[in-house]
A and B are shown apart, each in its own frame.
Chain A
């Protein structure tokens, strides 16, 4: 019995042990989760540790260490490093370069930007036999990667997987491929052929401002918030507006003049932007700003967003700047740029990582294609665009805003016009009005054209009125100098010019107008109003004088609009 009992006990225990052994496997847990989650071999070491293990990479490691990248590659962020085999001398050179530019922006420190970050990419990039790709490096550059080469340099030895990325060894330094802005900076070498002027101009637009939202405010001291962590936003407002030639996100062409040409063009432009002294010291600044700013207005071309279909980069029919506006198609777009007289004629581009840099010693951008040379159109019916003539009888002149009949609204600019007449019945009765002409340039002749509306646009009831002709006498007044006001007496530009009231009649009251002021011998007006709200040019329009106009004529003037047309071509013709 005892034997049976023992046998039973043994059997039971054996069964339990067997059941336990069947399902027991703590190794499964350890095998899956690992003892501590660490990886074996090089894969368990950081990039930095693995990099230091390779004797051939010591110089590169020295540069990294000297430039503060050791902790970065020894941290948790994942990188792919293509470590170049460089000499100790090269390493010393990079370290010196780093030290030299250390105080400045990291992005302009060549050791960091052009060397270290040109060999390190974020994330884990792998290669195999069929790899044919590009890798975006930490400096934003895309560098070609194949199974055996990186940026044209041969990859050597075995890749070294690391806990925080991949380590590759390359035969030598991978060349840095600058973008347009970096190329401009590179070519700011002084001399007449350099691009220092442009580079300086661009750099003036670089800003670094505090991002209050992202920054961490501390206490307030002396009424000002102190930030524990200041997040600065760096940007270039000019590039933001005209084209991000400082990034690798798109493909640009940039046309810039050499220093010598820059001086020449800017000097020429200065004559267009002579501001009145009432702008105080800003006048000079504006003149300087506009003369440079407007020069480069048509210099940025985005090769990916050209409006022409099937745009051919090698031989384009036209090339439009980033400021091109299809609604103003006459400006900032240039036909046949490589042909004779074209804006890019004869220029050899410098290929950059984000496009081409065209440097020219002969600025072929025609003035008439510049947006600041646009015709200014003044709608007469808008109250802010006119004023009564200040005479003793002016209070009898009435200017009425009239709305064209719907059937003819398309004929009238804005669908409305200004009806000017004098209610006086005396001898000096005369419809007259002053039209303010804003935004004029200085030093540039102007055509002044007045579009007179036909009474017929009010409907068939006005046929009789329309059959009466009008006459217009015009004079132009303007600021006679940078310090003076309007002239005492306006320059008469036309007298009793006939107007056919049966049609929308455009009358050129002045052609190629140049100021008639003693001491001023330039073109156009002596003072510009470009970018100003206030008009510095006035056009006075007068109808027939007298209570009883000649038979077949009528006194009222029906003014639709005034066209204020710059004529830079006349400058050139006379030059």
Chain B
């Protein structure tokens, strides 16, 4: 009976493994995945191998485990009841692969004797330490998104792949995604984020496109439902295959396909709540009044009685100006989110399908910034004829949002502040959001009048936007589908016919059409928003309305011929292909001022109308080839070559070759690997697997501005009235791709019966032909144009480990971590420049030869006699004699209460010559830490991520502690200098900051290191044996549980833009906050 049960189990195992093999075969053919099964060759010399398989869970020998030859089909056996096995394997076989239900697959090298030690299998409740194949490219993969509440896959990439992809959250707006980078910073001005390929289709991430709402980026990846994604593979090496697009690394995303012949229906539902983000400590109403009163001193007013400062309760305005409003309460609310999805998959030998429907509704904690998404995906695999297979995939996604501006504005001259969350900080707490009439504050109607408490004192100041809007009124009067509303729809149809000439040779051709439509409507209401000065018009306007409509059509055709075969110990794979991509992006934007009424948000009757637009079309063609060879699964070598031309390349580009009237770039790469543990002589106790690999790739970055190679005129609105054409660019026909050469070394080691896995990836890269600005002579009428010039280097490593700390029958505990480090260095610049300065949000980002490309370059504060950075006494300030120069050249001396800046050149004048490097946004190390504990079917996953040693420019704080505008300040400003002898680091408040105390200095540079408990997930699979319900899983998750950091902002993790020069700058976009989710998954 026992024997019978054993054979039944073995039969089931074989079926399960067959399904697994089918799943692997569906993986991308570019990766080292499954090969066609070899016919067992009878004439192959064999030798016996034997050993025993044990389950660490039960601590006993494991019967029924499938033991097969790794890398070669046709040689396998099952373990007996005592867990032992013995079978003949080819002499060239070097490793076995052991698999069993509910256990992770393990590989073991074959030694000379063929007498192998015990193989320990671990529960699938822990992560597998072996991939499907020997991974000489050092790719890493994430495929566990079962409980993900993420609206964007980049969050999961960050959580699960830690140091392999440095992901930086763009903030707490639902689905806004993450900034990503791999292997350091590989570009200065072009895109430096990795290429994303979804189901073989390169996705244009629109990194260089902008939308109307400040602080928002339309991440195309938000169009993809995480629950539809099967796996994410990070390709750091071997990127030559992606030609001029691979220099920043590649992320391969696979969506789910059918894996079962039986119909399977999975339904998921989850709901959650997101708590409010961390609050900054702001002044209360009384403190703000004192601050404002202080600030009035610099306005030159002679008024002695201000309504807002009256202490007389009989004063009509007393109630109006004696509130203590926490404006955060007005604009923030705990947010509810809900996610529903259903997938149906099934089919037969002829056709199989995977259908997914998903809906996500996510409120934002920032009111009226909600997101809704509808996803439909239909992936099919059809066996048309005997040798013709067709994949037909279609997907559609629609994302809609109520949207408002976010973050601190870069300036205050081009309009009034409309950023909700910034107004939440800056709006005076003494005011109420509700209207004031008859001496009473309403409890129902928002205040829609212009903020007027400064009208007495500042009435003479023309063209100064000192009034702030009521954020509640912005939401009340600015929320509607024809006001502030965003919509992005993404549709993709992909057809991939594949013809198998024989079992070794096939040709496949992917044709994909993608349509991405983006519409953004932007509206500044009249009610509750003060009239504001617009410097570009030199006019005061009442409100404005904008609209944008963009459409991108992308066509991809990718045809490849693949041949694969094995000759005994030799495996050879050859592939050649041709990829054609054509994109067209059209965008129209309109702007008009003064709509007349909030009930008529129409642009047709506005004033100062402006219409702009663009129509870009570009094409790239890539010929690519790949050759792989391995001997006995010990020695691997892989060569890649891509030859690419793009309409963005200049026709006279210096590198590459010219053919057919266009310039072609050549991108070769080679990778080699050695599986040391597959050597017969390798028998090191405690080391179960050892692989080393190294390689060299040349890849490019074609992120050249669309029209950089062309000379063109562009239209302008002269003085706000007349249309005209001016020279817009002087094209550089020699412009070409950036070229990155990267050397890598990798290791993959398993120790202690596979309890411990260590992976290492070390790299050094050199990027040449950097796309940089070239300053043009003023006679040209154009400030600069693009050239290739300059070089940079990156070196670094990624180290990860994963350990099974506890493996028992019911208990499993796993701990892992990853550490990434990169060191970036600019090595050359064009035109003999030593550095390039880029102004960003009041700061200067310096890229200097010998240094990283994105350093903060500003003023350093000195140390006074009191040990502070602010002069406590006039005497000390006078003794130092530091000054700035007025416009007429007269010195204006720093005094008590002013910041003491370091006079680098010792001439006492504080000017640009005294600036120096004050911070580096690049971390020393970054990565993640995770641990999983499971008890039976109950599982707890805990994920941390961290970043150490990175500096941040806290621009938001510079606005909230600048002490120069009538905006609420943090309570730190209560301690501002206000009397002789006061020892403090907060300078005096002074209107318009005549001494530049709030200038870009190390006052705003902070250590933004952090350790974050990113997620805790508790899940339970309910054991069911029901005819209708096959599985039921409950889970609960907490995200962003806590963050440990010295950082003085809301959240030390932020990314305000897609440029490398914008990283590390915190402009106060909506911060991430705690989120709690509850979910259920039902398998029908």
Q: Which residues of A contact B (CB under 8 A)?
A: 4-5, 8-9, 12, 16, 19-20, 22-25, 28-29, 32-34, 36-39, 43, 71-72, 74-78, 122-124, 126-131, 136, 138, 140, 159, 161, 163-164, 166, 216, 218, 228-229
Q: Which residue from B284, B316, B803, B815 sits with its C-beta under 8 Å from A216? A: B316
A22 with B1009, Cβ < 8 A, contacts A33-B970, A126-B896, A229-B316 known: yes
B1048 touches A71 (CB 8 A): no
Known contacts: A123-B297, A126-B896, A229-B317. The answer to whether A76 contacts B290 by CB under 8 A is yes
Residue of A nearest to B297 (CB): A123
With A24-B1046, A140-B302 given, name 9 new contacts (CB 8 A): A24-B1044, A36-B971, A43-B978, A76-B311, A77-B306, A78-B297, A123-B294, A124-B978, A128-B980
Q: Please state if B978 and A159 are interface contacts (CB–CB under 8 Å).
A: no
| A37 touches which of B287, B294, B316 (Cβ 8 Å) | B287
Closest chain-B Cβ to A102's Cβ sits at a distance in Å of 15
CA distance A306 to B1044 in the complex (A): 70
A28 surroundings in chain B (CB, below 8 A): 1046, 1048
In the complex, identify which listed stretch (B550-558, B655-663, B848-856, B872-880) lies at the interface while the others stay far away: B872-880
Is B727 in the interface zone, CB < 8 Å from A? no
The 4 closest A-B pairs by CB, nearest first: A37-B971, A229-B316, A76-B289, A161-B979
Q: Is B805 part of the contact surface with A, judged by Cβ < 8 Å?
A: yes
Q: How many A-B residue pairs have CB under 8 A?
A: 135
Inter-chain contact B979/A38, CB cutoff 8 Å: no
- Bound-state CA distance A19–B1013 (Å) is 13
B289, B979, B982 pick with most chain A CB within 10 angstroms: B979
Q: How far apart sit A224 and B806, CA to CA, in the bound complex (Å)?
A: 87
Q: Given A8-B803, A76-B293, A19–B948 Cβ distance below 8 Å?
A: yes
A16 CA / B982 CA spacing, docked (Å): 40
Q: Give the docked Cα–Cα distance between A38 and B971 (Å).
A: 8
Q: Name the distance in Å between A229's Cβ and chain B's nearest Cβ.
A: 3
Q: Please determine whether A24 and B1011 come into contact, CB atoms closer than 8 angstroms.
A: yes
In whole angstroms, how far apart are the Cα atoms of A356 and B910 in the complex?
45
Whether A136 contacts B302 in the complex (CB less than 8 A), given A23-B1009, A76-B289, A161-B979, comes out as yes
Q: Does B438 contact A (CB under 8 A)?
A: yes
Q: Is B621 at the interface (CB under 8 A from chain A)?
A: no
The residues of B that contact A71 with a CB separation of less than 8 Å are 311-312
Interface assignment of B296: CB less than 8 Å from any CB of chain A? yes
Q: With the chains together, A4 CA to B756 CA distance in Å?
A: 12
Least CB distance from B921 to A in Å reads: 16
Q: Could you give, for residues 395-439 of chain B, a 1 whenever the CB lies within 8 Å of some chain A CB and a 0 otherwise? A: 000000000000000000000000000000000000000000011
Q: Which of A34, A72, A77 contacts B975 (CB 8 A)?
A: A34
- Separation of A554 and B931 alpha carbons in the complex (Å): 126
> Cβ of B275 < 8 Å from any Cβ of A?
no
Whether A122 lies near B311 (C-beta < 8 A) is no
Q: Which of A25, A78, A163 contacts B1046 (CB 8 A)?
A: A25
Q: How far apart are the CA atoms of A76 and B974 in the complex, in Å? A: 12
B290 touches A43 (CB 8 A): no
A77, B289: Cβ atoms closer than 8 Å:
yes
Cα(A508)–Cα(B925), bound, Å: 106
Tell me the bound Cα distance from A164 to B290 in angstroms.
6
**A76/B304 in contact, CB under 8 A:** no
Residues on A with C-beta less than 8 A from B806 are 5
Residue pair A161, B982 in contact (C-beta under 8 Å): yes
Least Cβ–Cβ distance between A112 and chain B, in angstroms: 12
- For B929, list chain A residues within 8 Å (CB): 16
A33 and B971 form a contact (CB under 8 A) = yes
Contact assessment for A76 and B309 in the assembled complex, using a CB-CB cutoff below 8 Å: yes
Q: Cβ of A161: which chain B residues have Cβ within 8 Å of it?
A: 978-979, 982
| A8 contact set on B, CB distance < 8 A | 803, 805
Please report which residues of chain B, range 184-225, place their CB below 8 angstroms from some CB of chain A when the two chains form the complex.
Answer: none
Q: How far is the CA of A491 from the CA of B29 in the complex (A)?
A: 127
Task: State the main secondary structure of chain B at its contact with A.
Answer: mixed
Q: Is the CB of A77 within 8 A of B312?
A: no
Whether B873 lies near A128 (C-beta < 8 A) is yes
Q: Complex formed: what's the CA distance from A24 to B1043 in Å?
A: 9
Complex: how many Å from CA A20 to CA B317?
Answer: 50
Is B1045 part of the contact surface with A, judged by Cβ < 8 Å? yes
Q: Chain B contacts of A122 at CB under 8 A?
A: 296-297, 304
Which of chain A's residues has its CB closest to B1010's CB?
Answer: A23
- The answer to whether residues A39 and B311 also contact, given A76-B286, A77-B289, A130-B878 and a CB cut-off of 8 A, is no
Q: Which residues of A contact B1010 (CB under 8 A)?
A: 23
Scoring B284, B309, B752 by chain A CB atoms within 10 A of each residue's CB, the highest score goes to B309
The CA-CA distance from A29 to B286 in the complex, in Å, is 22
Q: Mark B1028-1068, 1 if CB is under 8 A from A, else 0.
A: 00000000000000001110100000000000000000000
Complex alpha-carbon distance, A25 and B972, angstroms: 17
In angstroms, Cα B1011 to Cα A16, docked, is 9
Q: Is B890 interfacial (CB-CB < 8 Å)?
A: no
Task: Report which of A24, A33, A124, A127 forms a contact with B281, defined as CB distance below 8 A.
Answer: A33
Using A33-B971, A39-B974, A128-B980 as known contacts, say yes or no to A218 and B438 having CB atoms under 8 A apart. Answer: yes
Asked if residues A72 and B311 are in contact (CB atoms below 8 Å), the reply is yes
Contact, CB under 8 Å: B293 / A78: yes
B232 within 8 A of A: no
The residues in B between 967 and 1013 inclusive whose CB is less than 8 angstroms from any CB of A are 970-972, 974-975, 978-980, 982, 1007, 1009-1011
Min C-beta distance of B171 to chain A, whole Å: 20
CB-CB < 8 A to B635: which residues of A? none
Contact of B979 among A16, A72, A74, A126 (CB under 8 A): A126
- Contact: A34 with B972, CB < 8 Å? yes
- CB-defined A-B contacts under 8 Å, sample of 11: A5-B805, A16-B944, A34-B974, A72-B311, A76-B290, A77-B309, A124-B294, A136-B302, A159-B979, A159-B980, A229-B317
Within 8 Å CB of B438, what residues of A?
218, 228
- With a cutoff of 8 Å between Cβ atoms, the chain A residues found around residue B316 in the complex are 216, 228-229
Chain B nearest CB, measured from A75 CB (Å): 4
Query: Does B948 contact A22, Cβ atoms closer than 8 Å?
Result: yes
B766 at the binding interface (Cβ < 8 Å): no
* Distance A78 CA – B297 CA, assembled complex (angstroms): 9
In this complex, what residue of A is CB-closest to B1006? A28
Question: Are B874 and A126 in contact, with the CB atoms below 8 A?
Answer: yes
Chain B residues whose C-beta falls within 8 Å of the C-beta of A12 in the assembled complex: 803, 805, 815
Do the beta carbons of B1048 and A32 come within 8 Å of each other?
A: yes
Q: Does B65 contact A (CB under 8 A)?
A: no
Output the residue of A75, A131, A140, A218 with the most chain B CB within 10 A.
A75
In the assembled complex, which residues on chain A have CB atoms less than 8 Å from the CB atom of B1009?
Answer: 22-23
* B770 is an interface residue with CB less than 8 A from chain A: no
Residue in A9, A24, A164, A229 whose CB lies within 8 Å of B805: A9
B425 CB, nearest partner CB in chain A, Å: 13
- Given A5-B805, A77-B309, A32 and B972 touching (CB < 8 A)? yes
Task: Say whether, besides A37-B971, A228-B316, A124 and B979 are in contact (CB < 8 Å).
Answer: yes
Q: How far is the CB of A391 from chain B (nearest CB, A)?
A: 64
A3 to chain B, nearest CB (A): 13
Q: Which residues of B contact A75 (CB under 8 A)?
A: 289, 309, 311
A-chain residues with CB within 8 Å of residue B289 when the two chains form the complex: 75-77
**Given A43-B982, A123-B296, A228-B438: A23 and B1011 within 8 A (CB)?**
yes
Interface residues of B in 316-368 (CB under 8 A from A): 316-317
CB proximity of B47 to chain A, nearest CB, Å: 32
Name the residue of chain B whose CB is nearest to the CB of A40.
B975
Residues on A with C-beta less than 8 A from B283 are 37
Query: In the complex, which of the residues B296, B970, B980, B1011 contacts A20, with contact meaning CB atoms closer than 8 Å?
Result: B1011
Q: Once bound together, how far apart are the Cα atoms of A23 and B1042, in whole Å?
A: 13
Distance in angstroms between the alpha carbons of A240 and B979 in the assembled complex: 39
List B667-688 residues whose CB lies under 8 Å from chain A.
none
Of A5, A126, A140, A164, the contact of B980 (CB 8 Å cutoff): A126
In Å, the complex CA distance between A126 and B875 comes to 12
The answer for the CA separation of A164 and B309 in the assembled complex, in Å, is: 12
Please name all residues of chain B whose beta carbon is closer than 8 Å to the beta carbon of A138 when the two chains form the complex.
304
- Of chain A, the residue at the smallest CB distance from B877 is A128
A107 to B873, CA, bound (A): 37
Q: How far is the CA of A4 from the CA of B805 in the complex (A)?
A: 10
